[in-house]
Amino acid sequence: MPRATLSEGSVEFRVVGGEPGPGSLVFLHEGLGCAATWSRLPERVARATGRTAVVYSRLGYGGSEPLRVPRSADYLHEEAHRALPEFAAGLGIERPVLVGHSDGASIALLHAARYPVAGLVAMAPHVFVEPETVEGVSSAVSAFDEGRLARKLALYHDDPEGVFRSWSGVWLSPGFRDWNIEEELSDVDCPVLLVQGEHDRYGTAAQLRAIEAGARGPVHRVEVPDCGHAPHLEHPDTTAEEVNAFVSGLEKQPGV
């Protein structure tokens, strides 16, 4: 994969469907994900909508450079307000359509609250910490320590141990229990598509209700039956259809 150089290090990325530019799709992975864990969703959305899709691994993930300092409790804000704008500017991307999953959905919401965005897909988003989230992360720690999750992450990341410990360490830290971005949702004025599995073990529909109540742009909500935390992997056809319909309904930028 090509690499983009940011102030904190270089990140791997891939481009689908043409040259990046105004109105491109930018995919933001989950807290244990990377560019590769999106599977075929970027290709499917790019092909169906005619927009270029850009998928990258944040610092510390996949084959991107390691983090130079430990991840802080403000890491989602730092990604949304510093790393993502720098990455987008380097590729000439303005007013993107953001597609985020879990941590990536939170980053997308925070970015859209401060920067111009054409549209936003938030899958399994987090806007505050729920007991279900803490329980889900705690279960993941057990799965990692037992080796099952560690082996899976090793397929995608140069440093699976670092990926997991930096993510779980923040989410399980006492100081992170009060993390909440509901007040910032009032600055999100773009169209929003919410997608969540009905059996998501990391969060409940309360997350969706908070976004519906807080965001100023139009919000469409989809809850996927018989689905957990990753709709794009567990129900790829349903998820692709919903995302394609939403993105196709957005007003395109000139030349896109």
Question: What per-residue confidence (pLDDT) applies to 37?
Answer: 97
Over range 81-98, report the average pLDDT. 98
Banded pLDDT at 252 (limits 50, 70, 90): low
In one-letter notation, the amino acid at residue 151 is R
Question: What per-residue confidence (pLDDT) applies to 256?
Answer: 43
CA distance 136 to 150: 16
CA distance 143 to 237: 28
H or E element: which one contains 233? helix 231-234
The SS3 call for residue 239 is helix
**Residue 179 CA, distance from chain mean position:** 17
User: If 0-12 CB within 10 Å is exposed, 13-18 middle and 19+ buried, where does residue 238 land?
Assistant: middle
Banded pLDDT at 69 (limits 50, 70, 90): confident
Predicted TM-score (pTM) of the model is 0.96
Question: What per-residue confidence (pLDDT) applies to 253?
Answer: 46
Task: List the structure tokens of 183.
Answer: 């007040």
Non-local (6+) Cβ contacts of 86 within 8 A are: 6, 7
Q: Is 90 exceeded by the pLDDT of residue 87?
A: yes
Question: What per-residue confidence (pLDDT) applies to 205?
Answer: 96
pLDDT tens digits for range 114-153: 999 999 999 999 999 999 999 999 999 999 999 999 999 9
| Ranges 53-62, 63-72, 97-106: which has the least confidence | 63-72
Query: In the block, which residue shows the tokens 């809850």?
Result: 223
Task: List the structure tokens of 216.
Answer: 């100023």
CA distance 166 to 46: 32
Nearest to 23 by CA among 112, 92, 126: 92
Q: Output Rg (C-alpha) for the chain, integer angstroms.
A: 17
CA distance 24 to 88: 10
Do residues 205 and 178 touch, judged by C-beta distance below 8 A?
no
Over range 5-9, report the average pLDDT. 94
